[in-house]
Amino acid sequence: MSDNKKPLNFIEKIIEDDLASGRISRLKTRFPPEPNGYLHIGHAKSICLNFGLAKKYKGSCNLRFDDTNPEKEDEEFVESIKQDVQWLGFQWEGDIHFTSDYFDQLYEWAIGLIKEGKAYVCDLSPDEAREYRGSLTEPGKNSPYRNRSVEENLELFEKMRAGEFDEGACSLRVKIDMAHPNMQMRDPIIYRIKKAMHHQTGDKWCIYPSYDYAHGQGDAIEGITHSICTLEFEEHRPLYDWFIQNLPVPSEPHQYEFSRLNVNYTVTSKRKLKQLVDEGVVSGWDDPRMPTISGMRHRGYTPKSIRDFVESTGVTRTDGVVDVSQLEFSVREDLNENAPRAMCVLNPLKVVLTNYPEDKRETMTAPGHPNRDDFAERLLPFSREIYIDRDDFREEANKKYKRLVLGKRVRLRNAYIIEADEAIKDDSGEIIEVRARVIENTVGKNPEDGIKAKGVIHWVCATNHVNCEVRLYDRLFTEEFPDAGGKDFMNSVNPESLKVLTNCKLEMSLSKPNTDIPYQFEREGYFFVDLKDSRPEHLIFNRTIGLRDTWNK
């Protein structure tokens, strides 16, 4: 089953060994997000890994929402996660699952643990429980409630479920070993009281299972063969196995850990991302500057570019930090090959071609893509007045400047060579217009006098174009590690992460742009129609990424 063109990662080796030995007959994985926020680039790796392995080995992958904490969960997050998974190009098997689907079974199994003397109701307060738990160097102490009788524990647990206790008054813990070197095994809590409405079960429950108790059992109920998670759950694996061994579960899944995806110039803590949203630093979870999958989609990143990036980072058991430029490289690589071309003048300056007849109109042609014959040819209106970018003209310049200069020639992309004669200024001295001449018979060829143009600039017809707004997005943080060492990441927010240009001039071929794909605005970068704010009468484009990396220069 292996792909001989590429070495297997360690999880693929495990799967192939398990299939070959007969331990499993069919691979079954799962992606189990918490619906308490939008998914980010780190989750993209887990999605690609779990769904990708299922596809490669002709197995299946479940989507299961770990909805054990109703206070922080919302149906909005459920819907956004479903969209993210499908947008990345994956589909879960069968119906969507929720941990809450198993609440009744988990409750019955908890009662079974109590009856076997393996679980007890503990009245220690959260602060007292932390004190009793000990530390990495000191063993914990048994709770004074650890030896309650089975009958008393059953009665108290039923009262917990009935809502007779306040939140924090007590919890249900499993009886393992308070001196265990792994602190996860020191009588962990499996039920706590939370009097909160649940987005799936309503007010049926006021006690909710812990993640560690619910997760492995959800895997077992669904017949998951390989429960793949990130390295921070490695110390939880003995507890995962303890529950599997001590409960009458229908199958025995195994947990495997890989290194999480950490990217510099980024924060991925949901708490910190929520703070950015709540304090109005960004417009929402799907703001194009956010490292969320929804934000990257809104910005114009493509599913393929994210999948390629994730694959390039590898699957290992060693934590590290990936440079965000590696993600940006994947985006540029995909868009360079697949984005249609267009011209848009972001900072327009009018050019009047004095020797071109006022009533004359021409239509120039341009390729939809320089290397793709399957892209439709573009038709570009041309007239006496055009717009060029203000940065493409100077009255005087040195030899390194390859654009329009007084007395010099430059080619208009896919059109004539022109020569600048005069700069018209307003009372403040700002240039408001350039007067130039068309060099005849230079469309598609050089002038007969042999004087070549110094460079090529983009342009848009001044009388036949589309007015649009362009939002120039950049990295959200100026520091490589915004929250390192406990520092306030908010102090690293980039004040230049968004610039809005409202007077941009776009070629007519994009009067009705395709909203599914980004475009390359020639010489400017890659841009994507803003799917939230753009309207047919007021087009808005988000800059996905520049043509080249400017942060290291």
**Looking at the annotation, which residues are catalytic?**
34, 260, 270
Looking at the DSSP bridge assignments, the partners of residue 404 are 393
Q: Which phi and psi (to 5°) does residue 345 adopt? A: -95, 110
DSSP letter for each residue of 396-452: S--TT--SEEBT-EEEETTS-EEEEEEEEE-TTS-EEEEEEEEETT-TTS--TT---
The three-class DSSP label of residue 16 is helix
- Other C-beta atoms within 10 Å of 222: how many? 22
Paired tokens of 247: 């409960």
For residues 127, 129, 130, 132, the Cα torsion angle rounded to the nearest 10 degrees is 120
Rounded CA separation 321/261 (Å): 7
Rounded CA separation 402/186 (Å): 70
Half-sphere exposure of 238 (CA within 13 A, CB side): 12
Pairing type for strands 539-545 and 466-473 reads parallel
Q: Which of 276, 273, 277, 289 is nearest to 473 (CA)?
A: 289
Cβ atoms of 227 and 254 within 8 Å: the answer is: yes
Half-sphere exposure of 147 (CA within 13 A, CB side): 3
* Sign of torsion over alpha carbons 131, 134, 139, 143: positive
Rounded CA separation 402/453 (Å): 9
